[in-house]
Structures are given as structure tokens and as C-alpha cells.
Structure 1
């Protein structure tokens, strides 16, 4: 099942797709306004989110696809977003190319402990069709498309798409500048939905693609597979939650293997589309912040 957040004047609404139709779960249970609410209900009743949704679908009205497309918001209110780096070979190579200290990235790629870092808070995170940011003090900016694991009390409950916006020039100047390269206004996008963990056949066998358009011209168009990841999602989650007071709901981005060439940098007005099989497509426009 895929869960969406619909924004309207009356507040948020939780929608679910199953069998091709979109159902309004909030119309049946008004207190179920978000996926986070559904996760709390799941925890209290000791039933899966999908089983609760299945009970409600028969009584839920359908939602027009056009309403879903025009009113969709970030699917989960993650109190924290964290991210993993250097989990794909091409990511390690790109980080080496940009850095003044390239050997450190090779060490991380080959080491037992992965790179896991803080990425965003809710006020820095946007949803589908919103704008993502590039820093005004950065000269080299890229999107980083990533599979995102959605966690509740530290356990994987679903998957979404994440865009880990990054300043390669700031991080490349000195690795200690990583927080400034990664954490800033509109630095992260999530969406378009959360696909439940039970609905993902294998998180390590998903096709992923990204296109970047500028004034109608395709500037970048490449694809990959999460099977190229050097670590498992669960391994990354284990390191994120280890000795860490994680919030009730969080998202962990699992790294990227789609990296534009060194000659490319994002500009205002660029449109970034990121797609992952079994989840959907996340679309954002770029703005300078």
C-alpha cells in the first residue's frame, strides 16, 4: 500500500492507494490525518498499518487523481531526517573527486562503520512539487536521489524517495564543512508517498532514476538499481539507532549512485524528477536560498 498526505483548507488528510484507486481514510476516521497517526494506531493496537487501512478502505470514499496530484504534501512528518553517505562505489568516487582530502572517503567505503549524518528537521524539509534549495554561497550544487527508510520507534515501517540536496563546493573545500553543505533551508525533499515495508518486494532490487530539466531541455537522465548499494538498509538503520535517542518518526536516506558530472551545477528553475520502482516519482523545482 502507498500512503499520501493531502493538504486542504480543513487540514491534512491521509490517503491510501490499493488496486489502483485512491481512498480517503480520514473520511472514515477523522483522527487519522497523517501517516504518523496511522503508525501510532498500529503501535497501540499491535496491528500493521496495512491491516488497519484494509479495514477502513471498504467504507472510504475515493479521491480523484487530479485532487491527489494538486494537493499532495510531504507524506511523513519526520522529526529528524538522517542520511548515509558513500554507500555506492560511484558516490565514493565523486566524493574523492570533489574533496581536498580524498583518501578519507575510500576509508569510509571500505570500513565496517558507515557514514551516517544528520540531514534535516521538518522546517527544512519539503514535499512533492515544492521548491528545493541551493545555497547562495555555493558554486557547485547537485541533487542526490536516495531511497529513504521510514522508521517508527527505530523500526523500518516503509520507504519513500528522498532528495539530499548538497553543496559539493562547500563540502569539497573541507570535510568539516559537511553540515553547512547538507543542512540548510529547503535542503531535503521527501515523497511522493510512503510505501509500506510489506509492499516493497526487496529494497535492494529497486530501479531508481533521475532527470534534470532546464528550460525544457534534459540536462541529466540516468538510472541505477539499489542492488548496487554496498551496505544493507538494515545495517545503516542499525548504525543510525545505535546509542542514539531517535525520535518517534524519522527517515534515514541510504545514499546515492546517481551523480551528475563535475561540469554540472544546479540553477534556479531547474526541475528535478526522482523515481523509484514501487514508490513513484518525486518532483521539485530549484530555488536559491
Structure 2
């Protein structure tokens, strides 16, 4: 089952994508795709609905972030050994956990705003894990019981603010529009092995990242369990699980970064693809 949100910013409605790729309106069933809608009982109810019985959404509406109302956007740094190597960093012994501002949340086709005076805005294709039930001190064996589904994410990063403006990464990750999420959340029953998913990122039609979740250092169940030891995960929360090699920071011999007017496309097999444009900040 693929759940999404469509409509103008701040006025999104819940939807379901049917097998033919048509958006079906779920607003008569649930108020939004949020933590309440991701409870196991609600998802089971939605799964029993014949999409053909729901109103078809006509036209080409804007698609918003596939989940809303979360309390936490959690990110994991350097979770692919080959990405750590390209950036010159050591492979971490434990997951590197940081927070992405909720204000960064963005639709999968919305513009990415290059921050004022930024010269090091970068892309990161990531598998996102969507939490369905509260996870607090959970074991690895129980971790997947708390997962509702998965989505494509782009952990857009301003590298100067991340690495050159003090010791915390959060500053470089939380700019407005730096968290495109979606186009939809795919429930976990349709993703039998989250550790075997192809993932990619193109900039202006040229492949930059070509990886797989197979090469994660810490897998999904390890991450959910680990994060739950220090941050309580609530329904609707999202974990960005790290990125494979191919980001601008790692380009040899000279790193290069995004500028206004470029197209960034990131995707994961079975989860969909985002297409965004970069625009200059206008303040």
C-alpha cells in the first residue's frame, strides 16, 4: 500500500496510490497521513479498502511530504562505509545520530532553496524509515514491529554549516526545504527486505549516486533499536538512514555543489522517485 498527501502547502489531503498510478482520495477515511493513521489497526483497515471505491483525484495536484505531524526527523551520518571513505571519515563504531529540523520537511517535487550565501549545498539520497508505534528502549528483535513503512528522502546538506561552522551537524541539515520526503510511504509488507534496495541520485540527468542499502553499516532494525535507546520514537517519526557514495563533497579531485537552476532526482527501487529544482533564496 502506498500512502501520500496531495494538495497545496498546508492544505494537503490524504491519498492512496492505486495499482494504475491513480491517486485515490482518503479524506473520507482518515484526516491525514500522520502518526494516528500509521497505527497497525488503522493500516490494516486501509489495506482492506478496494481503491476503486475511493474517489479518483483528477489533474496533477502537488504532492506533499508523504507523512506529517511527526515529533522527530532523525538522521544517521556516515552509515555507508564507502561514503565514509569518500569523505575521508573513519567508519563509525556506533551510529552517528543527529536531528533534522521539522521546518526542513518538503514535498518530493517542491523546489529546494539554496540558502543565502551558500556555496556548498549537497544532495544525499536516503532510505527513510517511518515509525508506526512508539519505540522506547526496543531490542533489535522487536524493532521491526515499530516500523510502518519506508519512503525516499533527500538529506540535503549545506557542508560549510555542517562541518566548518562548529562541531554540530544539525545546522547544515535544517535549512528550509532541506528534507524532501516521498512521493509516498510504502507499507513494510510491500518491502520484504529493506537491506536490498537499489538507490540513486542524478543531477541534471547525470548519475551521481548509484548504491544499495546492502552496504549499510547499521541496518534498519539496528538503527530503530539504537535510536530508541536515546530518543523516544513516536508514530509518524522518520529516520533518514544515511547515504551511499557519490555526494558532491566526495567528488575527486575537486568537490562540487549545487547551484540554483539545477534538477536533482533521487529514487529507491520500489519506493518511487523525487524530482526537485534548486532555486536561489529570495529574501
TM-score by length of 2: 0.83
Displacement over 6 Å in runs of 4+: none
Out of 161, 170, 189, the residue aligned to residue 179 of structure 1 is 170
Unaligned runs of 5+ residues in structure 1 are 97-104
In 1: Cα distance, 2:242 partner to 2:26 partner:
33
- Map 1:76-225; keep pairs closer than 5 Å: 76-77=67-68, 78-96=70-88, 105-106=89-90, 109-111=91-93, 113-121=94-102, 123-152=103-132, 153-154=134-135, 155-173=146-164, 176-213=167-204, 218-225=205-212
| Higher relative helix content | 1
Q: What's the counterpart of residue 138 of structure 2?
A: none
Deviation for aligned residue 1:182 = 1.6
Q: What's the counterpart of residue 255 of structure 1?
A: 242
Q: Classify 1:259/1:8 alpha carbon distance in 2 versus 1 (closer, same or farther; 3 Å).
A: closer
Deviation for aligned residue 1:135 = 2.7
| Higher relative strand content | 1
**What is the RMSD computed on CA atoms of the aligned residues?**
2.4
Equivalent pairs, count: 264
In 2: Cα distance, 1:2 partner to 1:159 partner:
10
Q: What's the counterpart of residue 275 of structure 2?
A: 283
TM-score by length of 1: 0.82
Deviation for aligned residue 1:164 = 0.7
